[in-house]
Amino acid sequence: MEVSYSTSSLFNAFKAGVSVAEKVREDLKKKRPDLLILYGTVKYDYNEVFDGILSVFEDETIPLIGGTGYGIVSQEGCQDSTILLIGFLSNGMKFGVGFSEGVGENSYEAGINAALSALKSLEKAKPILGILHSDGFRGNGSAVLKGIDDILKGKTPITGGTTGDNLDFKEAYQFYNWSCYSNGVVLLLLAGTFEFNIDIIQGWKPIGSEGYLEKYEGNIVSTLKDGLTIQDFYRQILGKDIPKQHLGFYPLALYQKDNFDYILRAAMHILEDGSLKLAGDVPPETSFVRVSKANKMEVLRDVSEYMKKTTHFSKSPEIVFYFSCGARKAILGCDLAFELNYIREFISEDVPIAGFFTFAEFGPFKKNNDYGINLLHNQTLVLCSIWNA
């Protein structure tokens, strides 16, 4: 696999598309890309961006996927009002792209249809890795993931993130084969001979005692054992009531049975009956929950300590995909550069880091060189690195 990328912050959408396409085409020595991935912000008219890219490549049969987020990430750092185009030459790898609409109406079915579509595009090759982008404002990301897993038999690790906007929470766009959608799911399946690694980095740390769930369904948590309401639980741990606008700073850590790993679930709303609405489902494997919190220094320290423990970056990957929750961007602010610097310390300067700030993240934990079940995360950084075999 060969990879090229380019960014543009030009105001004119067509010219921005031309700019990134020309650079990618030049780096790939004018060869036809086998896949294009486009990330950006909602600032742009993406039909005009597509027209600009196609004016350079002149080939609508090139598969294209992607979506919008709360800024993009590249070699140049974290950027707003920018587009990022990544071009791939497969060199033995195979790419299958799939799409489904209607995630807001039936997320599980949309996941199934996207997986079937991607498998058809893969032409019977065995998928080894998946990259998923679904609408971050509509539907249920956990249900999308379950639909995909049911088709792929749970044997394909899935990474990626949900799409969004600049925290206006109005519209999220997904890109699939030269069209811009909302209310959709786009899935890329990769097959062939290559190596990959998925890193899950959190930063929010659980505090206080455990709470054992008694009444919950989907992404709604009502009561804990002994009749404790979820608001009582927060008050018991934090010693105070939390204003609604500050709920997002204290996600729940959900611990899996027989496992010390936990996933974070952002607290979204307190409902009229006192229940708590989370930004994703509570998995059935959940054993207990804890309140978690973080500050800027803790988030950065966690990235630094995690990267120091890694060994797989001793061999330079072809690309490192970066999918980070928009909440991390919000809490780090101007110090986002430090996070990237901690990552860059362990990765060769010529390796592209490419991705965007998401509204939820996808990725399984890895234990003893095996990946577990695919999970939806909040307030988490997910890195996916790919090497040629």
Residues in the chain: 389
Q: Which amino acid is at 66?
A: G
pLDDT in single tens digits along all 389 residues of the chain:
999 999 999 999 999 999 999 999 999 999 999 999 999 999 999 999 999 999 999 999 999 999 999 999 998 889 999 999 999 999 889 999 999 999 999 999 999 999 999 999 999 899 999 999 999 999 899 999 999 999 999 999 999 999 999 888 889 999 999 999 999 999 999 999 999 999 999 989 999 999 999 989 888 998 998 888 888 899 999 998 877 777 778 999 999 876 678 999 988 888 888 888 888 899 888 889 999 998 899 899 999 999 999 888 888 999 999 999 998 998 898 899 999 999 999 998 889 999 999 999 999 999 888 999 999 999 999 999 999 98
Q: Which helix (H) or strand (E) holds 6?
A: strand 2-8
Domain ranges of the chain: 1-202+294-389, 205-293
Rounded distance between C-alpha atoms, residue 76 and residue 175, angstroms: 23
Q: What is residue 325's three-state secondary structure?
A: strand
Q: What DSSP line would sit under 130-185, residue for residue? A: EEEEEBSSSS-HHHHHHHHHHHHTT-S-EEEE-B--SS--S---EEETTEEESSEE
* Spatial separation of the C-alpha atoms in residues 159 and 86, rounded to whole Å: 17
Q: Indicate the pTM of the whole model.
A: 0.94
Look up residue 62 and give its DSSP letter. S
Give how far Cα 18 sits from Cα of 45, 176, 208, Å.
14, 19, 53
Other beta carbons less than 10 A from residue 197's beta carbon: 18
Q: How many Cβ atoms sit within 10 Å of the Cβ of residue 169?
A: 11
CA distance 142 to 133: 12
DSSP 260: S
